[in-house]
Structure formats: structure tokens, C-alpha cells
Amino acid sequence: MKPAPLFPLTEEWSPAQKLAVYDFCRLLSDTLWQQYEDELLDEMLRQDQRHGFAPIHDADNANLELPFDDDPLTF
């Protein structure tokens, strides 16, 4: 079951109008990310820290190990 739309007016939009808004939002999002990636990441970190996110402070284990079953390809 789909959740209720956040904006009731979208129920009156045609499929073409919905697609146009969706495309515009994606373009806007991509453009903002390309131009302001560092600022956006900094703000995301600030918000995470404000809301209780605490990164691991163990410098020896800064990255998690990922298990891989296969050997890397050699050329």
C-alpha cells in the first residue's frame, strides 16, 4: 500500500506534470551535489552529530572489513 502523498495537489497533476517535477528535482539535486558536495557533507555530519550519531573514534579500525570470497583479478 502506498503512503498518502505529502502534497494533495499532486493527485490532480497529469503523469507528464509529475514526470517534469521529478526530473527537475533530480536535476536540482545533482546540480547542488556537484557544486556544494563538501558543504553538504559537512552539514550532514553536523546534523548527525546533533541528533546522536557518534562516529567510531578508534583510529586503528576506521574502516570496516568487507568479506570477499573471490581473489582479485590479476592482469
pLDDT, tens digit, for every residue of 26-55?
Answer: 999 999 999 999 999 999 888 888 876 555
Query: What integer is the mean pLDDT of 7-31?
Result: 90
- The domain in which residue 40 lies consists of 14-48
16 pLDDT higher than 80:
yes
- pTM of the entire structure? 0.55
- Determine, yes or no, domain membership for 21: yes
Distance CA 69, CA 15 (A): 45
Distance of CA 38 to the CA centre of its chain: 14
Query: What integer is the mean pLDDT of 63-71?
Result: 64
Q: Domain count for the chain, please give it.
A: 1
What is the DSSP secondary-structure string of 28-73?
HHHHHHHHHHHHHHHHHHHHHHHTT------GGG-S-----SSPPP
Distance CA 24, CA 32 (A): 12
- Determine, yes or no, domain membership for 19: yes
Structure letter (DSSP) for residue 5: P
